[in-house]
Chain A
Amino acid sequence: MLRSALRRRGSDEQADDDLKDPLGTLLGRAGRGDQAAFADLYDALAPLLYGLVLKVVRDPAQSEEVTQEAFVELWRLAPRYDTSRGSVRSWAATIAHRRAIDRVRSEQSARDRAEREAQKRPIHYEDVAEHVVANIDGTRVRKALERLTEIQRQAVELAYFGGHSYREVALLLDVAEGTIKTRIRDGMIRLRDELGVAT
């Protein structure tokens, strides 16, 4: 909050912010209605958001719609972006993921979906885990995921990419709800530490 307030004040603070999160400057300008800045922001974020949405939603046409919704949401909310809440990429991914989840959950009752998929067992986790490892990020993340226990990794991926609630994940993995909550939490802590995210 303080930093975003400072950003509006002058170029010195802005230069300082640039070093911390270059996208923050673009978002700051976009938040004042600058469409050219938003176009640059789009270029920087589009593969991240579209790839994530596609992973969750699967259908390319629907994924485009959802990605567009997410960008319009970013535009609407840009004046309220608060640097103290995290990086622009993190904020944008949060918004896009939420949109993707809303899309898959509105399509049919979440419970129905989990039960149908549970009947198709055994699940091929490779499908869920199949990562497009075309970049350094991909390799790092894959390695970090490999450090998780099998159930932690499955739980995190089924939730994040599969779009399942932890209750559904419990059903899919045939584990008690309380257990799955713990596995998800332990898995996320491990992943965070493996990826060196500061806390």
Chain B
Amino acid sequence: MSGIDIHQLAAAYALDAVDERERAEFEAHYPTCPVCRPEVAGFRETLSQVAASVAVPPPTSLKTSVMDEIGTTRQLSPLLPDSVVNLAAHRQRRQTMQRALTVAAALLLIATGAFIVGRRSTGDDYAKAAAAVIDRPDTRITTLDGTGSGSFRVAWSPSAGRIVVMGDGLADPGTGKAYELWLVDDSGAHAVRLLDKAKGQKVRRVVPINGSPKQWAITVEPEGGVDKATGPIIFSGAV
């Protein structure tokens, strides 16, 4: 999808009239787009009025069922996502003294030497390479939840043996630091790729990978990259 096209999707997206891939792409785009973000909000307000025009009271028994179910349903934390990998991060907030150790242990961020360096890809090269991954029928897109600002998405095509990493609205990781992506599988966590310093708040990478990821995780590490995580997990998501 071209850069011009994506702005045209706000209405169709607000109507839930896009396919999975377009939804994923648009969701990676619009929260930080000064044009699309207010447009989506305006369309959603509009649609809630359209919805109100067909309002129908549900059967009274529904309230009992809803209240019963929420009584046994845990709410998400306002800051941290409710994913398994981030249980460690919850704990870590309370145990700041053992921050690095706790996270590393809990997440089994043990590098196994599978440090794969992807080729630099920018501009058209990126678009072409990304499309070749995203267009595959087996591509799975994971949105990583995080405590930092911005968002990361990872699109993985097993048949292509590649991933597309998309980060948006990211904070500068700091002088001499960079985001690092980890592939977490049954045997532990493997350093995949040191990402851009994200000065432009944006990361776009196509990276070859081996293996079968269960989770993706992102930490901030020294600029040269490390093969064993030292920083806390700031984004993660189950594949």
Interface residues of A (CB under 8 A from B): 31, 33, 35, 38-39, 42-43, 46-48, 50-52, 54-55, 63-64, 67-68, 71-72, 75-80, 85-87, 89-94, 96-98, 101, 131-133, 135, 137-138, 140-142, 145, 156, 159-161, 163-167, 169, 181-182, 184-185, 187-189, 191-192, 195, 197-199
Contacts and interface: CB of A to CB of B under 8 A. Distances in A.
A182 B12 CA distance: 9
B123 interface: no
B49 interface: yes
22 contacts: A35-B71, A48-B48, A50-B58, A50-B62, A52-B54, A52-B55, A63-B58, A76-B75, A79-B75, A93-B51, A94-B44, A131-B54, A137-B49, A138-B53, A141-B49, A142-B53, A145-B50, A165-B17, A165-B19, A182-B8, A184-B12, A199-B42
B36 to A, nearest CB: 12
Contacts of A47: 55-58
A63 B16 CA distance: 17
Contacts of A191: 46, 50
Contacts of A80: 76, 78
Interface in B189-218: none
Q: Which of A43, A46, A138 has the most C-beta atoms of chain B within 10 angstroms of its own C-beta?
A: A46
B74 interface: yes
A123 B62 CA distance: 33
B159 interface: no
Contact of A87 (B48, B51, B67): B48
B2 interface: no
A85 B41 contact: yes
Contacts of B42: 192, 197-199
Contacts, number: 190
A185 B11 contact: yes
Contact of B58 (A46, A87, A163): A46
Contacts of A166: 12, 15, 17-18
B96 interface: no
B150 to A, nearest CB: 13
Contacts of A43: 63
B56 A132 contact: yes
A39 B67 contact: yes
A67 B62 contact: yes
Contacts of A164: 17
Interface in B25-66: 38-39, 41-59, 62-63, 65-66
B108 interface: no
A89 B62 CA distance: 19
Contact of A160 (B15, B45, B59, B77): B15
Contact of B12 (A67, A76, A159, A195): A159
A192 B43 contact: yes
A156 B43 CA distance: 11
Contacts of A133: 53
Given A31-B78, A35-B71, A39-B67, A185 B10 contact: yes
A191 B76 CA distance: 35
Contacts of B16: 97-98, 101, 159-160, 163
B56 A77 contact: no
Contacts of A35: 67, 70-71
B14 interface: yes
The 4 A-B residue pairs with the shortest CB-CB distance in the complex, in nearest-first order:
A50-B58, A141-B53, A51-B56, A159-B17
